[in-house]
Structure 1
């Protein structure tokens, strides 16, 4: 039943995208000629059938590209942010291609403003519809509709974890009908039978998916479970017994008959995403340098007057791929010989009064925009540490050096969640790893806004 519902939803999704993109053409013309220009006479783009044919063909072609980009399918696992960015990119390339085509066939009457409005409205209409559809589906799934019926095979740790996660996320629309296991675990719900009875269980009920959650000592049953699922025509997913070590979005490479799970693949391994992030860093740092230049001038004068020594504090930090670099900050402390290894705290006696002020409002970090421009850092990423701490923590904290797979940042997911200064390094690493594995363009935008609206002020006290 769920497959039939999903096909219907996918079809409606595709058809509505086609109608909305085509409608965006009409809306763009009305806005350009009637609202912006107050035009009252006949308009070529509205009266000539050839333009409507081109608009319809363009809409159909765009929807076809959406289809091949994987934009029609279940919303259960897809993130709205990545879907929105894909739509914006496809629509942008589509309008530029349409403009080039019109030049080639000598359709010189078209308006560039109208084409821009066409792109704007098509984005607005399609994204608004998809946002509404997601919210509606989530609401109905919480009410118990559009459910995907699942049978869990196993009764150990991962079976418990999966069933618990399903209960915590009712908006995803999964219903666990029961479990199959040699052991009886009432807390998991209804026991449907043993491993040998799995075929009868699947034949006797409507099941959309089998989730194999076998423990290491039950791995011998895996072939039997897979064969039974295939025989009964039920889709099967596997929770590997090394689940806790797999990143959120692993990739699989194939060498002959051998499948290799890449345990440390990140979204930023993709060249396009790296270019987009670097472009945002360069553009963002240039704009922020310009906007904060009066504040930096004020900080430079304040540091010079507060205590003897240089205005900038340059310290070696460990960057991407463990490459050292010199990070710049406005000096907030008196000159001592411990800067390379000392861990600063809120009550650090080395701080000057002006230094504690610029640290409290993160003004001391502003010169790092030049580190970003240089390429040593990013606007968003794990905070860089001095080599002394890196060498110390890598021995004590698992996955610590995974942080070095990306450029360190001025701000990051850990910092906007309150983990800055003298806080738990283990918790910071946990947040940093989550950021690396779940990176998206929209996550960076979210962190920038969280930093701007509350993430710059910290708990340090002004001495």
Structure 2
């Protein structure tokens, strides 16, 4: 079993365990937060759409290729990040992206012409593309000028908390108070402020442990993490506990003075701010995960039913009656549920408190484990909504309690539904392997979730099963 964490960290992790069941925000609060932060994105999309439509009506003359190009242009703009909310508004930053998007959209129209015969990409189409790009540039320049004026006038101001009451934090606050970024700093959060009361441009509202409460009390939209004396892992735990709040979190990277900036990094008067990803359950594509789970598990149960029946018969022959058994496991937000498996061992009353017991596994059980066929009944757990196809593997309550005390970050795995397979498992962390490594891989999955990551894990799982790489 893996080595336990350093002295002093277990208590912190245990304390964090009480907050690992991330409080889910209400739909009302999410809608308000999204409305506050998506105004710029909506405005830019509307501006581009009006410009595109105007050019199509004036110069398109009903050409299908022009219509295909125009629709493709809006889609490419979205993928290029031209509709993302941002602090710095510069038409010069948009210029290369808009030019590249125009070229890419002409390519899409050409492909549609060659593959589907939708219109002919002629010289007139290129003129339309040029006209749309120029018009969009001019319209966006006007929007940016008006937006900055609204910001500096205080008509657009998102309430902001700054973690770290030191020189850098004060510098950020002073820059934000100009209003150009559309953020309104309301106070510092720090356990041990470096600046004296007379040096602070804003009051210290509380310590890092109060962040979740202060975000709600101050109706904050933004949290900026600057440097402070609070240990980094303590800040990480607190930030994870705030993931259920409708707030965006930015952090100043280490060695920010030599950090390269790019269009996905915000900037406050030369200080780069990296936006932390939103929690998986706040992603636009998150509901599609459940759709994929229901469709795949229902189809999988139908297709695998003959295999399940054969496996159940073999299990009954080897271990006796009751080929299917239920075992209590810990799932999303620490809630327990009965996990279904094919029995691979003879009944043993102590198996619930023994780690990876193997003594009573027969030939059939070993074969089922190697091919992961003993996990097939969990498709029913997926269909019921107790599990997902992909997620951290669920563990028994006894071990969850033990590992939470012994290993950093273990309980934070439960921020998303547990899964039949997971990121740790496809990296060989199955059976008697390092618990700390599993927690690290599982939390990496939680922090970086996407539908494509789920698909990638499923494909790698199939490869491992076919190569009999299971337990």
TM-score by length of structure 2 reads 0.49
Q: Report the TM-score, using the length of structure 1 for normalisation.
A: 0.50
Using CA pairs under 8 Å that are at least 6 residues apart, name the structure with larger relative contact order, 1 or 2. Answer: 2
